[in-house]
């Protein structure tokens, strides 16, 4: 992303000054924060093919914090979030998922990969249910997921929001039990969606949006 690269150039120039070195240009560098954020939103795409390179723990921590920073109704924070990199756990969970009716149909399209496209990291986004949960807990997880997707893109990583794999887990008693017992989720956690995360092995183009679907009324 051009604007983000310019931001890093500015940071590098400041670092040179702090080390006693003068950058080639002495003109003050200003960063248009709004432009950076808008470009990040407008250039994010869904990525489904990843390299084998693991995602740095520092990046995962940033993604986790970005998710937890999302707004929620009455600040209830009625959600649970787990980001998993343990491939043995993910493969075991995938095995349960692919035994479901939906999973059997998907297995043919995976070409030997697990249900998470062999992503190096997978985020499991859950809503807390029960008496203490608000009526907007699922909407809150949507806000959490979008925060994460934008943070992932800003870090130069790729991701895809997935609902079908979450349904496969919810359709399997073994998968649900594994999810809660192995990932330390409370009994009142309901899986809403999954986000697969990794270093992109593809460069999808940004798809056009139908601008007629939105309008300003004056």
Instruction: Give me 22's structure tokens.
Output: 């003068």
- Decide which of 9 and 207 is more confident: 207
At the top level of CATH, the class of 57-198 is alpha beta
Task: Kindly report, residue by residue over 75-120, the tens digit of the pLDDT.
Answer: 999 999 999 999 999 999 999 999 998 888 887 788 889 999 999 9
Confidence of residue 30 (pLDDT cuts 50, 70, 90): confident
- Return the number of other C-beta atoms located less than 10 Å from residue 132's C-beta: 10
Confidence of residue 3 (pLDDT cuts 50, 70, 90): very low
Percentage of the chain with pLDDT > 90? 78
Rounded distance, CA 118 to CA 198, Å?
9
Which helix (H) or strand (E) covers residue 121, if one does? strand 121-128
Question: 196 and 117 in contact (C-beta within 8 Å)?
Answer: yes
Residue 168: helix, strand or coil by DSSP? helix
Domain coordinates of the chain in residue numbers? 2-43, 57-198
Task: Kindly report, residue by residue over 144-162, the tens digit of the pLDDT.
Answer: 999 999 999 999 999 999 9
CA angle 82/136/171 to nearest 5° reads 55
- Decide which of 18 and 176 is more confident: 176
Question: 121 and 155 in contact (C-beta within 8 Å)?
Answer: no
Residue with tokens 């931001």: 7
Instruction: Give me 195's structure tokens.
Output: 């986000």
């Amino acid at each position: 992303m051009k604007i983000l690269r310019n931001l890093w150039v500015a940071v590098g120039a400041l670092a040179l000054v702090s080390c006693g070195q003068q950058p080639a240009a002495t003109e003050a560098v200003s960063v248009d924060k709004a432009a950076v954020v808008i470009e990040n939103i407008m250039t994010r795409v869904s990525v489904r093919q990843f390299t084998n390179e693991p995602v740095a723990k520092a990046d995962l921590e940033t993604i986790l914090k970005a998710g937890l920073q999302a707004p929620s109704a009455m600040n209830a924070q009625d959600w649970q979030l787990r980001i998993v990199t343990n491939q043995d756990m993910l493969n075991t969970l995938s095995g349960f998922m692919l035994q479901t009716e939906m999973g059997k149909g998907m297995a043919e399209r995976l070409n030997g990969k697990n249900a998470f496209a062999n992503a190096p990291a997978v985020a499991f986004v859950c809503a807390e249910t029960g008496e203490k949960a608000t009526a907007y807990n699922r909407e809150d997880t949507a806000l959490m997921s979008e925060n994460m997707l934008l943070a992932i893109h800003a870090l130069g990583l790729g991701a895809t929001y997935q609902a079908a794999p979450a349904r496969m887990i919810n359709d399997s008693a073994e998968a649900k039990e594994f999810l809660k017992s192995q990932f330390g989720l409370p009994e009142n956690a309901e899986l809403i969606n999954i986000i697969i995360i990794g270093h992109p092995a593809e460069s999808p183009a940004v798809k056009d949006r139908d601008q007629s679907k939105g309008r300003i009324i004056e």
